Amino acid sequence: MIKGDYFSVKFENDKLIFLDQTKLPLVEEYVETDDYNRIAEAIERLEVRGAPLIGICAAYALALAVKGADKESRDLFEIAYKRVAGTRPTAVNLFWAIDEMKKTFEENVTSENIYAILLSHAKDIHKKDEEYCRKMGQNGLSIFKGKSNVLTHCNTGRLATGGDGTAFSVIKTAFKNDLINHVYADETRPLLQGLRLTAFELDKSGIPFSLQTDSSAAELMKQGKVDLVITGADRIALNGDSANKIGTYMLAIIANYHNIPFYVVAPSTTIAQNTPTGKEIEIEYRDKNEVLFINQDQITNQNYNAFTPAFDVTPSHLISGIITEEGVFTFPYNFLFAGRKD
């Protein structure tokens, strides 16, 4: 892999440009569009994914929905809002971002410059997430006691956010401060975000790493090769229960058994104000063909049934700390998050 720069999304010449993550790491292909529906499809197809990045793309989609509109902007916006809101149910950043955009729209609906106003707000959301990523990386340095081996799950870097990432920002910042010896990246079945995307980002960043099957994590820990587990989150309940890519809960249990610290990294926008505990988190279920196929290659009988949750929920008592742009918080999380206002 050639080391070098890349980006997940950027906005230029009234178009959203995004990296098609379904083709990584073998093909680096960017898509340009000014069609909100195409952006919604990209979110559904996982061409763009990761809770913060989904929110950013959704914000740009709603701005583009009213580009060139006049008196019909309200209808266009409402149609686009419903379309984008229906793409993925679990990631709270999506709903936070589109509600932010809706509030801005309602406050300025009579303006002749409604597109420019919405676009400016979308860019602010993007810029804010970039700054949050930087702060999470810095805040995460405090969890390291020395040069460490880290295990991570799914993908949490620039491909999932507007900046350097959530958990990946902590890893990257720690590496720059000589606190990372090696990173173990779970393949993350069924869509292999670790094998394809985290490996791509680790390689681009020059960080030493190994890939392993998800089922190898317990053996790694048993052999004493893991000092810390660091993951992201797609939704955090007010009591600290955290939803993340399927397989995260299993990692937390294994880490707890081996007395290995388990940390979650996410921006404060991932804390769901309307979700008291993990029991209220809606879990997205994906098409069974994502298990039965790898890309277009069928690997088992298509008539077989499959259990296909995209996420699971890790109980807060298994989480050593939750790292946000505001700091590192520890159990019991309800005293920290209850009643907060974003």
Tell me, what's the pLDDT at 342?
Answer: 43
Tell me, what's the pLDDT at 68?
Answer: 82
Tell me, what's the pLDDT at 336?
Answer: 56
Tell me, what's the pLDDT at 74?
Answer: 87
Query: Known catalytic residue: 234?
Result: yes
One-letter amino acid of 60: Y
DSSP code per residue over 103-153: HHHHHHTT-TTHHHHHHHHHHHHHHHHHHHHHHHHHHGGGG-SSSEEEEE-
Residues of the chain with pLDDT under 50: 1-2, 335, 339-342
Q: How many CB atoms lie within 10 A of CB 229?
A: 27
DSSP code per residue over 154-205: S--STTTSSSS-SHHHHHHHHHHTT-EEEEEEE--TTTTHIIIIIHHHHHHH
* Domain 9-134 shares a fold with domain 136-337: no
pLDDT per residue as tens digits for the range 216-231: 999 999 999 999 999 9
Active-site hit among 129, 186, 227, 234:
234
CATH superfamily of 9-134: translation initiation factor eif-2b, domain 1 (1.20.120.420)
pLDDT per residue as tens digits for the range 146-187: 999 999 999 999 999 999 999 999 999 999 999 999 999 999
Tell me, what's the pLDDT at 3?
Answer: 54
- 136-337 maps to CATH 3.40.228.10: no
Task: State the pTM of this model.
Answer: 0.92
Residues in contact with 307: Cβ distance below 8 Å, sequence separation at least 6, in sequence order? none
Where exactly are the structural domains of the chain?
A: 9-134, 136-337
